[in-house]
Amino acid sequence: MKGEAAFLEVIGRHFPGCSLGVGIGDDAAVIDIPSPAVVTTDVLIENVDFTRELPVRFIARKSLAANVSDLAAMGAVPHAFVCALGIPEWFEPGFETFTSELAAAAREARIELVGGDLSAADALTISITAIGRIAEGARPLLRSGARRGDRLFLSRPVGASAAGLALMTKGWRIFGDGSAAPPPHAGGLAFAHRELAASLLLRHAAPEAETALGAALARIPEVGACIDVSDGLALDLSRLLAASGCGAVVDWRRIPPFPDLVEGALALGIDVRASVLEGGEEYALLFTASATESELSSRLRRPVYAIGRITEGSGIILDRDGERTPLEPRGFDHFAR
């Protein structure tokens, strides 16, 4: 690559045209969007949010997922995004793969790239701002919408992303094709769980936002508050509760762990409790509703999981087979250095 123009040429090939108005190529984009607009921004930085070990295509997927998941948590439909990149020299050979994968992920999420900015950098930096819209018949879902007596729901099994991160820290590798390799010194037991490890790593590397679910929840009047699990179930729940001025009791047995996680945890050296309660980058939705699990699941035509109840007061109580203890709002803090 030589200079900004070479990068722009690659971007132009993978993101041709813009259906929303004036896209890439002017000082700013000019796009049609129904008011209100839902706006979110997330920055991912090398060695903080990912390392060079992560294949470039997954870095692209993770970056977009973080933003699209925030839109889903608001009940918004993805509309447009801009992407500012700080590009170190090591990343230049991977730039085309990154761009192509970002384009694929954007097509899947039905969100259009309308602008961006490029800069040199020492650490790869990906800053995306995504804009969503509220569909007809829907309203934005806020963190503050929980009411005492509501049920607390989780959209899908959790724990895989943190478990995948733990495996990477232990020397497992994930490759661009989604296959995984154990560390050289791994024993036979770990090797036997290679398939589970690969699916955990993939969940971490290419998390999926709950885009369709978020938009569907925004149309159901019984749904109250919503947040996405980006920094951990306990921490994100505590944020929802603080915004709503409520507390919650969570039933440990009802939190669905990622399939086979409990069975394979010992062999792979994974802390299930921490992965499930404190693992970030899950992008499951955590929401409240004055409806039962079966009512909601049938209306949504997919399972959702009632894991507890909204209560008076504040904070989280974890109920483990009748034994109730306060749950600390621990999770991912970028500044725990």
Instruction: Establish if 49 lies at the interface with a copy of itself (CB under 8 A).
Output: yes
Q: Does 337 bind a copy of itself (CB under 8 A)?
A: yes
Identify residues 100-159 at the interface with a copy of itself (CB under 8 A): 114-123, 125, 127, 129-132, 134, 140, 142-144
Tell me which of 35, 221, 301, 321 binds a copy of itself, using CB under 8 A.
Answer: 35
How many residues would you count in the chain? 337
**Closest distance to a copy of itself from the beta carbon of 272 (Å):** 26
Residue from the set 55, 78, 86, 224 that interacts with a copy of itself by CB under 8 A: 86
Task: Give how many residues touch a copy of itself by CB under 8 A.
Answer: 74
Does the bond joining 36 to the residue before it have cis omega, within 30 degrees of 0?
yes
Count Cα atoms within 13 angstroms, Cβ side, for 86.
Answer: 11
Nearer to a copy of itself, 320 or 334 (CB): 334
Q: Any alpha helices (H) in 185-320, and if so which ranges?
A: 188-192, 194-205, 211-217, 233-244, 261-268, 272-278, 293-300
- Could you tell me if 133 and 33 are in contact, meaning their C-beta atoms sit under 8 angstroms apart? yes
How many Å apart are CA 238 and CA 227, to the nearest integer? 10
Q: How far is the CB of 180 from a copy of itself (least distance, A)?
A: 27
Is 91 among the residues that bind a copy of itself (CB under 8 A)? no
Q: Is residue 7 within the footprint of a copy of itself (CB under 8 A)?
A: yes
Q: According to CB under 8 A, which residues from 162 to 201 bind a copy of itself?
A: none
Give the contacts of 253 (CB within 8 A, at least 6 positions apart).
320, 321
Q: Nearest distance from residue 274's CB to a copy of itself, in Å?
A: 18
User: Shortest approach of a copy of itself to residue 260 CB, angstroms?
Assistant: 30
State the CB neighbour count (10 A cutoff) for residue 251. Answer: 17
What is the x/- site pattern for a copy of itself, positions 223-242, by CB under 8 A?
---xxx--------------
Contact pick of 85, 186, 248, 265 for a copy of itself (by CB under 8 A): 85
70 binds a copy of itself (CB under 8 A): yes
Examine residue 212 and tell whether it contacts a copy of itself (CB under 8 A): no
Q: Which residues, listed in sequence order, are joined to residue 87 by a DSSP beta bridge?
A: 120
10 contacts a copy of itself (rule: CB under 8 A) = no
Which one, 6 or 262, has the nearer CB to a copy of itself? 6
- Cα–Cα distances in angstroms (integers) from residue 299 to residues 19, 161, 293, 294, in the given order: 33, 28, 10, 8
**Ramachandran quadrant class, 4 (left: phi over 0; alpha: psi -120 to 50; beta: rest):** alpha
Distance CA 81, CA 110 (A): 11
